[in-house]
Amino acid sequence: MSDSIIQKVADEFRALSEPQGNARPPAGPAPAAAEPVGNGAVHGEPFVSPHPYATVLHDRRLAAEAQGLARRDTLLYLNGVTKSFDGFKAINNLSLVIQKGEMRAIIGPNGAGKTTMMDIITGKTRPDKGEVFFAGDVDLTHHDEAAIASMGIGRKFQKPTVFESHTVEDNIRLSLAGPRSVLGALVHRKDRAERDRIETILETTRLTARRKTYAANLSHGQKQWLEIGMLLAQDPELLLVDEPVAGMTDAETEETARLLREIAQHHSVVVVEHDMHFVRALGVKVTCLHEGSVLSEGTLDKVSNDPKVIEVYLGR
Amino acid sequence: MLLARFLGPRVWILVAVILAAAILVPLANLALPPDHALHVPSYLVPLWGKYVCYALLALSLDLVWGYVGILSLGHGAFFALGGYAMGMYLMRQIGSRGVYGNPVLPDFMVFLNWKELPWYWLGFDQFWFACLMVVLVPGLLAFVFGFFAFRSRVTGVYLSIITQAMTYALLLAFFRNDMGFGGNNGLTDFKDILGFPIQAASTRAGLFAASCIALAIAVLLVGWITRSKLGKLMIAVRDAESRTRFIGWRPQYVKLFAFTVSGIMAGIAGALYVPQVGIINPGEFAPVNSIEVVVWAAVGGRGTLIGPVIGALLVNYGKTVFTAAAPEFWLFMLGGLFVFVTLVLPRGIVGTIDHGWDALRSIRRAKDAEKDESGGDAQAVPGPAE
Ligand SMILES: Nc1ncnc2c1ncn2[C@@H]1O[C@H](COP(=O)(O)OP(=O)(O)OP(=O)(O)O)[C@@H](O)[C@H]1O
Ligand SMILES: [Mg+2]
């Protein structure tokens, strides 16, 4: 947490101290324009550097800034991420960018690395190589699961995991955004605002009638929905949803697509799903992963007509 | 009414029973004539007092095992440390009445030819200081141990093994004479506590009452903790630890809190135990002692608050009866009991009753719902269409 704050302050300070660099070029080509000026000043003039390494550092800083600018407006930025398990590359030089407010569907055959990618984003797994940034400049590889969750990244697991010995209501109460201190929880009192929040979430996820039911007694579909409800309770900026409709009936699947579209109006969402009808119902940009990297990206029609994708799916 | 809602009637009944015992047992011992039918003989008072201390120990284990899922096999260590802190106070109360008549040094130090009191014995002539240490020493050990164990995400069997190793290491350390805790013999031959002769019936009655009050307070404390949002979080950590991380909680701190509070409770239980049994020695650190505590909690029903209290009382009563009849069989009995409970009553006595009750209720509710549906369906049909 504190790291990210320091980083933010440092970035702002940098922006203030270089007003022209920031003001002139608004978007993409900015770094390219800024770089020669900086480099020229260093290499061209008889500039007496205190140490040759200072030049290297200077160049490195400029390069980092250039990349920082490209990153700035993204919500999630993965660059060259690699993760291997016992020599097997589950994620292989994966690069992926999610914009603020975007909903993205991720498809890919079994073992493509979709879940591992979510593990990396949420801090469960550390990548061997590569960059993972949230909201432009928060380096996620330096934070633990709890910190990342508190920053605003919520996650629904492939296998629904809810707190089985708690009621639906308590599951949501424990997930509600708010302070996360142990002693705070000890003296916590239920209040009106909290009840209202829970009420809204129960309504959104169609679980109002089951509020007092123990989560263990819910149907599979209802557990999936409860987990989505817990996600909503955290009020995250980015929702990572792993196979939300696995094991659902067609009607439930349709209902879930509707629910996710509704959620996507106010949040950014990344959905992993095998069910193509569901992905079509979402109607968003699709990324196909294969062997740990991006195989194809675009509209569902474009991706599903991509010969590489067809080969991967038919080859199995 | 409000109080009843706060913790549920069961907890209040238990507290009332404990407090009634705190008053009635001493009364029946001191006020009734020996030939009265309800007279409690003096030898029973410290024995029952011992059971009450064990109940407190079992409750402390329940807080971590029943509610947070940490199977500690080392709670005997916290109990013994609290006991030693109290024992050190009682040793220094002996003063010049010891065998060697040294006004400052306890007998075993004189025997070892020590010339002055080790620094860690300073202050123990004061009751308040000893009480502070009763809380601080087990609390600190639990905190430091928990901090490193939970931070490194040691869980399950591995955690159980290192708690067992912890109490075993302390056992070996306290056996050494040069540690300054009386070695093999431990601390004993106590004379008085707070100026009252420790063998007197009235002192023992007072200690019994104090143990009951401590247990009652602990029941309320654990009840309050487990019914708070933190208590819900503890159960969440027990059932799905990694899930709590992904909604932003740090389960290591939840565990650390419970473990520290639990260690302190166990220490207080030990401190109340020592003046009633009159001795504390390294045997209290023996790994099997900690395992016995697990059996008590399992028999009563872990995670049920009142279960471990009942379990500790029942099993120890059984132990007294059986060890009198056939001492060599007790360990087999204990082992057999644990196997029986694990296989036949995995929820323990109270847990099984609760579960049966819940099952009955849900069957009844399902029947009610069926009745409702058959009557209500006709009206419900237009609902989705609107
Ligand atoms: N902790 C781990 N240790 C070893 N191998 C792992 C681990 N996690 C994932 N893998 C391997 O990495 C590969 C990618 O797994 P991942 O779960 O990310 O696939 P997926 O795309 O989510 O597949 P599915 O559609 O079946 O959920 C698999 O071959 C898997 O066996
Ligand atoms: Mg997966």
| Chain A residues touching B232 at Cβ < 8 A | 166, 170, 173-174
Residue B381 has pLDDT above 50, yes or no: no
CB contact under 8 A, A124 and B242: yes
Cβ of residue A132 lying under 6 Å from some atom of ligand 1: no
Burial class (CB in 10 A: 0-12, 13-18, 19+), B102: middle
Report, as an integer, the average pLDDT of B65-93: 97
CB contact under 8 A, A146 and B249: yes
What pLDDT does A22 receive? Answer: 40
Report, as an integer, the average pLDDT of B2-28: 87
User: Cα(first)–Cα(last) distance of chain B, in Å?
Assistant: 44
CB contact under 8 A, B239 and A165: yes
**Residue A98: in which H helix or E strand, if any?**
strand A88-99
Residue B138 has pLDDT above 90, yes or no: yes
Looking at the partner chain, which of B239, B243, B254 has a beta carbon nearest the beta carbon of A182?
A: B254
Nearest CA among A135, A112, A139 for reference residue A123: A139
Model-level pTM? 0.86
Report, as an integer, the average pLDDT of A41-51: 55
Assess contact for A297 and A288: CB atoms under 8 A. Answer: yes
Q: What distance in angstroms lies between residue A293's CA and the mean position of ligand 2's atoms? A: 14
Nearest CA among B266, B290, B278 for reference residue B81: B266
pLDDT digits (tens, 9 = 90+) for A148-191: 999 999 999 988 899 999 999 999 999 999 999 999 999 998 89
Q: What distance in angstroms lies between residue A232's CA and the mean position of ligand 2's atoms? A: 21
Percent of chain B whose predicted confidence (pLDDT) is above 90 = 80
Cβ of residue A136 lying under 6 Å from some atom of ligand 1: no
- Name the token pair of B325: 């009849």
Quickly state the pLDDT bin for A40 (edges 50, 70, 90).
very low
Assess contact for B82 and B267: CB atoms under 8 A. Answer: yes
Minimum mean pLDDT range among A11-15, A260-264, B243-247, B263-267: A11-15
Nearest CA among A208, A228, A210 for reference residue A269: A228
Cβ of residue A113 lying under 6 Å from some atom of ligand 1: yes
- Name the token pair of B265: 């409770």
> How far is Cα B243 from Cα A161, in angstroms, rounded to an integer?
7
Tell me, yes or no, if B115 comes closer than 8 A to chain A by beta carbon: no
Give the helix ranges, DSSP H, for chain B: 2-7, 9-30, 44-68, 75-94, 107-111, 127-151, 156-175, 201-227, 229-246, 251-277, 287-300, 306-325, 330-344, 348-380, 382-385
Report, as an integer, the average pLDDT of B95-103: 90
Residue B220: other Cβ atoms inside 10 A: 17
Residue A265: other Cβ atoms inside 10 A: 9
Quickly state the pLDDT bin for B2 (edges 50, 70, 90).
low
> How far is Cα A135 from Cα A71, in angstroms, rounded to an integer?
8
For B256, nearest residue in chain A (alpha carbons): A182
Residue A24 has pLDDT above 80, yes or no: no
> How far is Cα A113 from Cα A125, in angstroms, rounded to an integer?
12
Domain map (residue ranges) of chain B: 2-318
Quickly state the pLDDT bin for A31 (edges 50, 70, 90).
very low
Task: Write the secondary structure of B301-370 as one string of H (helix), E (strand) and C (coil).
Answer: CCCCCHHHHHHHHHHHHHHHHHHHHCHHHHHHHHHHHHHHHHHHCCCHHHHHHHHHHHHHHHHHHHHHHH
Q: Chain-wide mean pLDDT for chain A?
A: 84
What pLDDT does B19 receive? Answer: 97
Percent of residues in chain A assigned helix, strand, coil, to nearest 5: 50, 20, 30
> How far is Cα A153 from Cα A270, in angstroms, rounded to an integer?
11
Percent of chain A whose predicted confidence (pLDDT) is above 70 = 83
Q: Chain-wide mean pLDDT for chain B?
A: 91
Query: Which amino acid, B249?
Result: W
Torsion of the alpha carbons at A58, A60, A65 and A66, rounded to the nearest 10:
120
Residue A32 has pLDDT above 80, yes or no: no
Domain map (residue ranges) of chain A: 152-283
**Residue A303: in which H helix or E strand, if any?**
helix A300-304
**Domain spanning A152-283, CATH class:** alpha beta
What pLDDT does B7 receive? Answer: 78
Quickly state the pLDDT bin for B355 (edges 50, 70, 90).
confident
What pLDDT does A316 receive? Answer: 55
Which residues, 6 or more positions from A263, have their beta carbon under 8 angstroms from its beta carbon?
A: A228, A232, A239, A269
Give the DSSP letter of residue A167. B
Assess contact for A151 and A142: CB atoms under 8 A. Answer: no
